Amino acid sequence: MAHARVRKGARTASPSIGARRHKYVYAFADGKAEGSSALRHLLGGKGCELAEMTNLGVTVPPGFTITTEAWAAYSAGGRKHPAELWEQGLASLARPRAAPSRLRALGRPRLHAGHDGYCPQPRSQ
Protein backbone atom coordinates (compact mmCIF):
# COMPACT_ATOMS: atom_id res chain seq x y z
CA MET A 1 0.00 0.00 0.00
CA ALA A 2 1.44 3.36 -0.99
CA HIS A 3 1.69 6.16 1.55
CA ALA A 4 0.06 9.45 0.64
CA ARG A 5 2.40 12.38 0.56
CA VAL A 6 1.50 15.57 2.33
CA ARG A 7 2.49 18.58 0.32
CA LYS A 8 4.44 21.28 2.12
CA GLY A 9 2.18 23.85 3.79
CA ALA A 10 -0.90 21.63 3.59
CA ARG A 11 -3.26 21.64 6.50
CA THR A 12 -3.34 18.49 8.55
CA ALA A 13 -5.66 17.42 11.31
CA SER A 14 -4.99 19.25 14.52
CA PRO A 15 -4.33 17.16 17.61
CA SER A 16 -7.01 19.17 19.38
CA ILE A 17 -9.68 18.44 16.79
CA GLY A 18 -11.86 16.87 19.49
CA ALA A 19 -11.37 19.96 21.69
CA ARG A 20 -13.49 22.13 19.39
CA ARG A 21 -15.16 24.92 21.33
CA HIS A 22 -18.92 24.84 21.15
CA LYS A 23 -21.08 27.92 21.16
CA TYR A 24 -23.69 27.24 23.83
CA VAL A 25 -25.00 30.79 24.41
CA TYR A 26 -26.61 33.03 21.76
CA ALA A 27 -27.32 36.61 22.87
CA PHE A 28 -29.93 39.07 21.66
CA ALA A 29 -30.00 42.77 22.57
CA ASP A 30 -30.21 46.26 21.14
CA GLY A 31 -31.76 45.17 17.83
CA LYS A 32 -29.11 42.53 17.09
CA ALA A 33 -29.24 38.79 17.70
CA GLU A 34 -26.58 36.15 17.25
CA GLY A 35 -29.23 33.60 16.27
CA SER A 36 -32.01 33.34 13.70
CA SER A 37 -34.82 31.01 12.66
CA ALA A 38 -32.22 29.02 10.71
CA LEU A 39 -30.88 27.83 14.08
CA ARG A 40 -34.19 26.40 15.35
CA HIS A 41 -32.50 23.01 15.92
CA LEU A 42 -30.04 24.71 18.31
CA LEU A 43 -32.12 27.46 19.89
CA GLY A 44 -35.53 25.81 20.08
CA GLY A 45 -38.76 27.54 19.12
CA LYS A 46 -38.69 30.33 21.70
CA GLY A 47 -34.98 31.07 21.25
CA CYS A 48 -35.08 31.39 17.48
CA GLU A 49 -38.27 33.48 17.57
CA LEU A 50 -36.76 35.87 20.13
CA ALA A 51 -33.74 36.21 17.84
CA GLU A 52 -35.96 36.83 14.80
CA MET A 53 -38.07 39.46 16.61
CA THR A 54 -34.89 41.19 17.80
CA ASN A 55 -33.45 41.22 14.27
CA LEU A 56 -36.75 42.65 12.94
CA GLY A 57 -36.59 45.54 15.41
CA VAL A 58 -39.39 44.40 17.74
CA THR A 59 -38.82 45.62 21.29
CA VAL A 60 -37.45 42.59 23.11
CA PRO A 61 -35.70 42.75 26.48
CA PRO A 62 -32.02 41.83 26.19
CA GLY A 63 -31.19 38.23 26.99
CA PHE A 64 -29.65 35.02 25.75
CA THR A 65 -30.63 31.51 24.79
CA ILE A 66 -28.79 28.37 25.90
CA THR A 67 -28.65 25.81 23.09
CA THR A 68 -29.96 22.28 22.91
CA GLU A 69 -26.32 21.19 22.49
CA ALA A 70 -25.71 22.45 26.04
CA TRP A 71 -28.48 20.17 27.30
CA ALA A 72 -27.04 17.22 25.34
CA ALA A 73 -23.57 17.87 26.77
CA TYR A 74 -25.06 18.15 30.28
CA SER A 75 -26.93 14.86 29.90
CA ALA A 76 -23.98 13.02 28.35
CA GLY A 77 -21.54 14.45 30.91
CA GLY A 78 -23.15 12.89 33.97
CA ARG A 79 -25.39 15.89 34.70
CA LYS A 80 -22.46 18.33 34.78
CA HIS A 81 -22.56 21.42 32.60
CA PRO A 82 -19.68 21.92 30.15
CA ALA A 83 -17.09 24.51 31.24
CA GLU A 84 -17.67 26.58 28.09
CA LEU A 85 -21.33 27.02 29.00
CA TRP A 86 -20.52 28.70 32.30
CA GLU A 87 -17.91 30.98 30.71
CA GLN A 88 -20.20 31.96 27.84
CA GLY A 89 -23.15 32.59 30.17
CA LEU A 90 -21.07 34.85 32.41
CA ALA A 91 -19.71 36.70 29.38
CA SER A 92 -23.24 37.28 28.11
CA LEU A 93 -24.37 38.59 31.49
CA ALA A 94 -21.38 40.93 31.65
CA ARG A 95 -22.13 42.62 28.30
CA PRO A 96 -23.48 46.10 28.85
CA ARG A 97 -26.92 46.48 27.31
CA ALA A 98 -29.24 49.42 27.20
CA ALA A 99 -32.86 48.57 27.85
CA PRO A 100 -35.09 49.81 25.02
CA SER A 101 -36.87 53.06 25.91
CA ARG A 102 -40.31 51.40 25.95
CA LEU A 103 -39.02 48.92 28.56
CA ARG A 104 -37.39 51.65 30.66
CA ALA A 105 -40.76 53.39 30.83
CA LEU A 106 -42.17 50.30 32.56
CA GLY A 107 -39.80 50.73 35.49
CA ARG A 108 -37.61 47.97 36.83
CA PRO A 109 -36.88 45.33 34.15
CA ARG A 110 -38.38 41.90 34.79
CA LEU A 111 -36.76 38.57 34.02
CA HIS A 112 -38.78 35.83 32.37
CA ALA A 113 -37.69 32.34 31.37
CA GLY A 114 -39.31 29.49 29.54
CA HIS A 115 -38.41 26.10 28.20
CA ASP A 116 -39.72 23.70 25.59
CA GLY A 117 -38.16 20.48 26.80
CA TYR A 118 -37.63 18.23 29.71
CA CYS A 119 -37.20 19.77 33.13
CA PRO A 120 -35.40 17.40 35.51
CA GLN A 121 -36.94 16.93 38.93
CA PRO A 122 -34.75 17.35 42.02
CA ARG A 123 -33.29 14.10 43.25
CA SER A 124 -34.63 12.81 46.55
CA GLN A 125 -31.95 12.28 49.15
- Delimit the domains of the chain by residue range: 22-97
The class level of CATH for 22-97 reads: alpha beta
Please indicate, yes or no, whether the overall pTM of this predicted structure exceeds 0.75.
no
Per residue of the chain (125 residues), what is the pLDDT tens digit? Answer: 444 444 444 444 444 455 568 899 999 998 999 999 999 999 999 999 999 999 999 988 889 999 999 999 999 999 998 989 989 999 988 886 665 555 555 555 455 455 554 444 555 55
What is the spatial distance between Cα 120 and Cα 125, in angstroms, rounded to a whole number?
A: 15
Sign of CA dihedral 73, 71, 50, 63: negative
